[in-house]
Amino acid sequence: MSLTTVIFDYGCVISLAPTPQDYEPLRKAIGVDLAAFNETYWRYRDAYDLDDLDAAAYWQEFGHDVGRNFSPTQIHKLAALDCQIWGRPNLVMVEWVRLLRGKGLKTAVISNISRNVGDYLRRTGRWMGFMNQITFSGEHKLLKPDPAIFHSCLEGLGEPAAQTLFIDDRESNVIAAQTLGMNGIVFHSVDQLQTALEPHGLAESLAEAKTRSK
C-alpha cells in the first residue's frame, strides 16, 4: 500500500536540536548553576506538555525547587525564553515538507509540546501552513507514546495507519506508531533519514530539499 501521508515529530525533527548554548539565556535569567537547571528543567516537563501545568504553574514549580520566587513579569520572560529555544526550524526539513505537499502527499505533526510553546509556534512557524494536521500534546492532553494521540491525528487526517509514515527522534514513539500499523523511522540526522526513506520512495525528494535549502 503506497504512502499518502508523512507525519513528523516537531522537536529535533522539524526543529533543530537545542544546543547547550541555546539554553544559556534561560539558565542565566533563572540564576542557577547548570546542574540544577538541567535537572529541574525536565522534572515537570511531561506535566507541562500535557497541560496539567500551565506556564505559570510550571515556572512556579521550577522556582520552588531552585529556591526562587518568580514574579508574573519574570514568569512571562522565562516562558518567552523557553519558547525561543524550541523555535529554530531545520530548514531542510521545512523545505521537504513543502515539497511533499507539492507532490500531493499530506503532512502532519504529532508533538509532545506545551500549550504555551504550541501557541508560540502557531504565531511564528511558517512551516505550520504546510501541515494538514497539527496534534500538540498540550492541546489534546495526550502524550506520546499514548496510542490515543496517534489515533487523534489519524482521525483528523482521515487516513489509514498503513498509508502513513511517522518520523520521530525517539524510538519509543516510533515503536508505538508501528504497533498501530503506521510505518516508522527513528530520526538521527537528515542524511540518515534520506537513506531510510529509500524503501518508501521518498529519498529523492529529501535530496532535492537539501539542495534547495542551501
Q: Which CATH number is 170's domain given?
A: 3.40.50.1000
Question: 139-185: per-residue pLDDT in tens?
Answer: 999 999 999 999 999 999 999 999 999 999 999 999 999 999 999 99
Q: What is the dihedral of CA 134, 174, 13, 155, to 10 degrees?
A: -10
Q: Residues 192, 147: one domain?
A: yes
CA 11 to chain centre: 3
Q: Residues 30, 123: one domain?
A: no
3-class DSSP assignment, residue 101: helix
Locate 141 and state its grid cell.
492532553
Sequence-ordered strand ranges (E) for 45-100: none
Could you say which of 85, 110, 137 is where a domain stops?
85
Locate 89 and state its grid cell.
526550524
Q: Residues 43, 145: one domain?
A: no
Could you say which of 85, 104, 138 is where a domain stops?
85
Question: 107-151: per-residue pLDDT in tens?
Answer: 999 999 999 999 999 999 989 999 999 999 999 999 999 999 999
Q: Residues 99, 200: one domain?
A: yes
| Average predicted confidence (pLDDT) for the chain | 97
Question: 60-88: per-residue pLDDT in tens?
Answer: 999 999 999 999 999 999 999 999 999 99
Element (H, E) at 147: helix 147-157
Structural domain boundaries, residue 70: 20-85
